[in-house]
């Protein structure tokens, strides 16, 4: 009888999605989880605070304010500390890469030249979307490193993405929401932290994604050129992300683009 009850309990547990913890308050955990991500990774934490904002997070002034803005919309998909860590670490990833500061440098340089390049709205939108996706992917891989360094399960980053609402096309072809970004994280973890895949993540959202990921992996592994490209991509990503984090720490919490922006401002 006990075995029957245990089996029944296991089936019920498997059916519970990651978002089942309705009493969990993600926003209230941001400060502690954020500090843990910094401390456990040896990143300077002096005067750094974490703030939940309702609009799109803008961390362009982090170097001045020492405030990491985190999206309440993203936190709505976080049902435990691992998933909160994924959201917060993603923002830290953007800061460490200096994405906002890079844009500030570009704008500053453009404002000091007479060059006026005009492009169509369609081209500008395409370029902007491509850049945003590229930056998100870069930040996500830094986030994985930070999560592992702080003892969080990096697979939670996949879950937070795939919990979100997908496009109509995603639904039609049976693809998880944010599949491209989620698969990027999965491939990186598989290459750099394979033991984390063995631990897994016990919820329906991850299991659904895993079916998609395994199919994509099988397709790639059947093509030697794709395998070679995959290994080259993530070997480079492993080095780049580790280098970004190391230099951010050495500079005392300043990205390379922050340093460049400071120099340009001083030279004005």
> Is residue 52 predicted with pLDDT exceeding 90?
yes
- Give the up-direction half-sphere exposure of residue 223: CA atoms within 13 A in the CB hemisphere: 8
Query: For position 9, what pLDDT does the model report?
Result: 33
Strand, helix or coil for residue 128:
helix
Which whole-number Å values give the CA distances from 230 to 7, 84, 194, 237, in the listed order?
A: 40, 29, 15, 11
**Overall pTM > 0.85:** no
Interatomic CA distance for residues 248 and 259, integer angstroms? 10
Q: What average pLDDT does the structure give for the chain?
A: 83
Could you give the C-alpha distances from 151 to 41, 156, 197, 215, in angstroms and in order? 10, 12, 14, 29
Rounded CA separation 69/55 (Å): 10
To which residue do tokens 């490193």 refer?
145
pLDDT computed for residue 108 by the predictor: 61
CB 47 within 8 Å of CB 121: no
pLDDT at 151: 97
More confident residue, 82 or 119: 82
| pLDDT of 25 strictly over 70 | yes
- Band the pLDDT of 120: cuts 50, 70, 90: very low
User: Which range, of 16-25, 141-150, 207-216, averages the lowest pLDDT?
Assistant: 16-25
Report pLDDT for 266: 64
pLDDT in tens, 127-186: 344 456 788 999 999 999 999 999 999 999 999 999 998 888 888 888 999 999 999 999
Nearest Cα to 81, choosing from 133, 34, 122?
A: 34
Listing DSSP states for 19-39 in one string gives GG-TT--SGGGHHHHHHHHHH
Higher pLDDT, 8 or 86: 86
Residue 55 φ then ψ, to 5°: -100, -175
Secondary structure of residue 51 in the 3-state scheme: strand
**Distance in angstroms (rounded) separating the CA atoms of residues 239 and 232:** 11
Q: Is 185 exposed, middle or buried (0-12, 13-18, 19+ CB in 10 A)?
A: buried
CA distance 56 to 53: 7
pLDDT of residue 259: 67
Strands, E assignment, 18-87: 49-53, 67-71
């Amino acid at each position: 009888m006990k075995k029957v009850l245990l089996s029944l309990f296991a089936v019920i547990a498997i059916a519970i999605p990651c978002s089942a913890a309705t009493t969990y308050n993600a926003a209230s955990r941001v400060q502690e989880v954020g500090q843990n991500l910094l401390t456990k990774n040896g990143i300077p934490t002096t005067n750094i605070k974490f703030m939940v904002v309702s609009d799109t997070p803008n961390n362009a002034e982090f170097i001045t304010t020492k405030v990491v803005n985190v999206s309440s919309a993203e936190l709505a998909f976080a049902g435990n500390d691992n998933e909160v860590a994924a959201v917060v670490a993603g923002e830290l990833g953007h800061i460490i890469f200096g994405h906002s500061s890079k844009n500030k440098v570009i704008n500053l340089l453009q404002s000091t030249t007479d060059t006026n390049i005009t492009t169509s709205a369609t081209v500008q939108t395409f370029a902007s979307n491509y850049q945003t996706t590229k930056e998100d992917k870069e930040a996500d891989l830094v986030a994985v490193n930070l999560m592992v360094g702080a003892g969080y399960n990096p697979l939670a980053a996949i879950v937070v993405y795939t919990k979100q609402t997908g496009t109509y096309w995603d639904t039609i072809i049976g693809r998880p929401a944010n599949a491209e970004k989620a698969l990027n994280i999965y491939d990186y973890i598989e290459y750099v932290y394979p033991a984390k895949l063995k631990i897994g993540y016990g919820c329906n959202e991850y299991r659904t994604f895993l079916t998609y990921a395994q199919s994509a992996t099988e397709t790639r592994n059947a093509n030697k050129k794709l395998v070679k490209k995959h290994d080259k991509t993530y070997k480079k990503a492993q080095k780049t992300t580790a280098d970004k984090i190391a230099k951010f720490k050495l500079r005392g919490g300043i990205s390379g683009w922050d340093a460049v922006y400071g120099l340009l401002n001083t030279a004005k």
